[in-house]
Amino acid sequence: MTKAMTGARMVVQALKDQGVDVVFGYPGGAVLPIYDEIFQQNDIRHILVRHEQGAVHMAEGYARSTGKVGVALVTSGPGATNAVTGLTDALLDSIPIVVLSGQVPTFMIGTDGFQEADTVGITRPCTKMNWLVKDTAKLSGTIHEAFHVARSGRPGPVLVDIPKDVQFAQAEYTPMQRARTAHYQPRLKGDIEAITAMVEMLETAERPIFYTGGGVINSGVAASQLLREFVEATGFPITSTLMGLGAYPASGKSWLGMLGMHGLYEANLAMHGCDLMINVGARFDDRITGRLKDFSPNSRKVHIDIDPSSINKVIRVDVPIIGDVGHVLEDALRIWKARGRKVNKDGLAKWWKQIKEWQSVNCLDYKPSEKTIKPQYALQRLEALTKGMDRYVTTEVGQHQMWAAQFLGFEAPNRWMTSGGLGTMGYGLPASIGVQVAHPEALVINVAGEASWLMNMQEMGTAMQFRAPVKQFILNNERLGMVRQWQELLHGERYSHSWSESLPDFVKLAEAFGCKGLKVSDPRDLDDAIMEMIRYDGPVIFDCLVEKHENCFPMIPSGKPHNEMLLGEADTQGVIGAKGAVLV
């Protein structure tokens, strides 16, 4: 038998029933009844953020690193509008979060009341689904439905807008088992005929490749394990998008590295030259495809995705398979084994010989310096000194993000949190706090650029208040690095507003927050400083002064195909065809 309770208590009870253990939020008038209920219980921990954008990014970091749904709680008006960037970020990267927002009382909606905004209208384009709940009797059921939608199918953000009078009123609580969820049951099992067709293609392919994305990680740890088994059993090469790093181990013998605009030479040329492309949980993003008409022109393409709208949206494929990655890979492995585990061994041997030639180019090579810290060197040392630790990495957005993806290795899923689709500067610091809250004993490092980091630097106060020992590893080139690089290469070296001036002293800033600050400019001091950062039992702001005008290579110039990459400074007047690239 259910009992009557206030809407505010319903919110807290629904969160408990959903297994929520932490909420990231910021109070305000329209959510005070909910905050009062939070105060009167001890099962759910509340993390007080300094800005609502930070709350949503923390929920994203928590969700991405745990596989659970992240939760943020914000007030009406500016509280809700401040959450929009985080919601859009989560939508593009398929991160399951629930945002609960307060709203003015129902009788004031539409009157331009104090701190009123059309939250449902504003957030409709940047959520998977949203609701304005005007009836307390429907509140708990709606929250349960919201969690179901957020985590089911292609994950994503949802929002529930709750007027203040609905929080005060009483009604009967709807338990999870009675909530309305039957209407949203995405297809999990792929079509067996299509899966069999894929298996037949991989049995004969001469130049196959697995192209994987964040959908593998979203499907769960079992999907990553199945992917690894499939790759090892077939001997096929594998590459990944920025969002898919860690689904296959970086130390694996079939790993080609990340592909795309700043992906590895061998990965991009393998994608261009393959005759069978098996897309597993990726969406043919423009940063991956380059010029569409020249994207992998001679390959047959298979696309496995749980979201039907992603199929044939950008690239037409030969075999579409709608379903959950884990279920599809399980069926594909079973069918392939039953048919005799066949692959084209001769073709595969020649394909790997070609790939080894591309790998010998050593596309991540750079000119070291004894006087200045190169950003690549900083990340190489960070990787060497933290490899094997219980480590999670978040990033901001820019050159440092791409260097981190190139030089840091991930052996497991859910260890790499970055803003892929939206490219949100200011994501990394709050996301790192969300990860640290979820994994209090782990080493959590945010690789940042000084410009991105400043966008949400106020969240260091959150880190200090809640004793989250996040390490902020800032590659400080005193520039908007990626903007400056594009201006150098594509805009005639006209550096329009891409230099960061009036930067703070990051060590003094750290001291002002009450945490530890470190500053390094000499390569000889780097290792000791990194170890000091790691060993310090608390938040750290690490100011690593790096080469100011270093460019991030490899790079596919805007509008070019995969096989026209810039490998270094000598290439900036032309493309790699001049360097003897073998195009197949």
- Amino acid identity, position 516: K
**Is the C-alpha dihedral spanning 63, 86, 447, 559 positive or negative?**
positive
- Amino acid identity, position 295: F
**Tens of pLDDT along 16-57?**
999 999 999 999 999 999 999 999 999 999 999 999 999 999
Half-sphere exposure of 487 (CA within 13 A, CB side): 14
What per-residue confidence (pLDDT) applies to 559?
A: 79
479 Cβ neighbours under 8 A, 6+ residues apart: 451, 498, 499, 500, 548, 549
Active site residue 52: yes
Name 445's bridge partners: 393, 471
For tokens 């945490």, the residue is 515
DSSP state letters, 251-311:
TSTTEEEE-STT--HHHHHHHHH-SEEEEES----HHHH-SGGGSSTT-EEEEEES-GGGT
- State the pLDDT confidence band at 426, using cuts at 50, 70 and 90: very high
What per-residue confidence (pLDDT) applies to 576?
A: 39
DSSP state letters, 100-136:
EEEE--GGGTTTT-TT---HHHHHGGGSSEEEE---G
Q: What angle do CA 388, 544, 460 make, to 5 degrees?
A: 80
DSSP label at residue 11: H
Which member of 52, 60, 396, 547 is catalytic?
A: 52
Pair of tokens at residue 459: 């969240």
What per-residue confidence (pLDDT) applies to 256?
A: 98
Q: What is the pTM of this model?
A: 0.95
What per-residue confidence (pLDDT) applies to 2?
A: 67
Pair of tokens at residue 130: 């949203």
Q: What share of the chain is helix, strand, coil (3-state, %, to 5)?
A: 45, 15, 40
* pLDDT, average across residues 272-287: 95
Active site residue 210: no
What is the rounded CA–CA span in Å between residue 422 and residue 413? Answer: 21
182 Cβ neighbours under 8 A, 6+ residues apart: none
**Tens of pLDDT along 347-393?**
999 999 999 999 999 999 999 999 999 999 999 999 999 999 999 99
What is the rounded CA–CA span in Å between residue 561 and residue 568? Answer: 17
**Is the C-alpha dihedral spanning 27, 30, 36, 38 positive or negative?**
negative
What is the rounded CA–CA span in Å between residue 309 and residue 328? Answer: 18
Contact by Cβ (8 Å): 162, 29: no
**Tens of pLDDT along 289-339?**
888 889 999 999 999 999 999 999 999 999 999 999 999 999 999 999 999
424 has pLDDT over 70: yes
507 has pLDDT over 60: yes
Buried/exposed code over 102-112 (b: 16+ C-beta within 10 A; e: otherwise):
bbbbbeebeee
DSSP 3-state of 170: strand
Mean of all residue pLDDT scores within the chain: 95
Which member of 107, 114, 356, 389 is catalytic?
A: 114
Which one is predicted more confidently, 480 or 572?
480
Which member of 68, 164, 471, 516 is catalytic?
A: 164
Burial of 570 (0-12, 13-18, 19+ CB in 10 A): exposed
φ, ψ dihedrals at 423, nearest 5°: 65, 60
First to last CA, the chain: 68
What is the rounded CA–CA span in Å between residue 228 and residue 411? Answer: 11
What per-residue confidence (pLDDT) applies to 287?
A: 84
22-25 β-sheet, strand order? 45-48, 22-25, 70-74, 97-103, 157-163, 129-132
Which member of 115, 170, 225, 458 is catalytic?
A: 115
276-280 β-sheet, strand order? 255-258, 238-240, 208-212, 276-280, 300-305, 319-322
Active site residue 16: no
Pair of tokens at residue 502: 């009036």
Active site residue 164: yes
Which member of 482, 533, 555, 565 is catalytic?
A: 482
The fold of 375-545 is Rossmann fold (3.40.50)
**Tens of pLDDT along 67-87?**
999 999 999 999 999 999 999
Q: H helices within 312-398, ranges in order?
A: 325-338, 345-359, 375-386
DSSP label at residue 191: P
φ, ψ dihedrals at 460, nearest 5°: -60, -30
DSSP 3-state of 572: coil
Pair of tokens at residue 153: 């199918």
φ, ψ dihedrals at 308, nearest 5°: -60, -30
Radius of gyration of the chain (CA): 25
Contact by Cβ (8 Å): 104, 473: no
What is the rounded CA–CA span in Å between residue 160 and residue 175? Answer: 17
Check: CATH 3.40.50.970 for 4-178? Answer: yes
572 has pLDDT over 80: no
* pLDDT, average across residues 263-268: 96
The residues spanned by each domain of the chain are 4-178, 192-359, 375-545
What is the rounded CA–CA span in Å between residue 74 and residue 28? Answer: 7
CATH of 192-359, one of 3.40.1160.10, 3.40.50.1220, 3.40.50.2000, 3.40.980.10: 3.40.50.1220
What is the rounded CA–CA span in Å between residue 71 and residue 97? Answer: 6
Q: 519 to each of 106, 382, 505, how far by Cα in Å?
A: 53, 15, 9
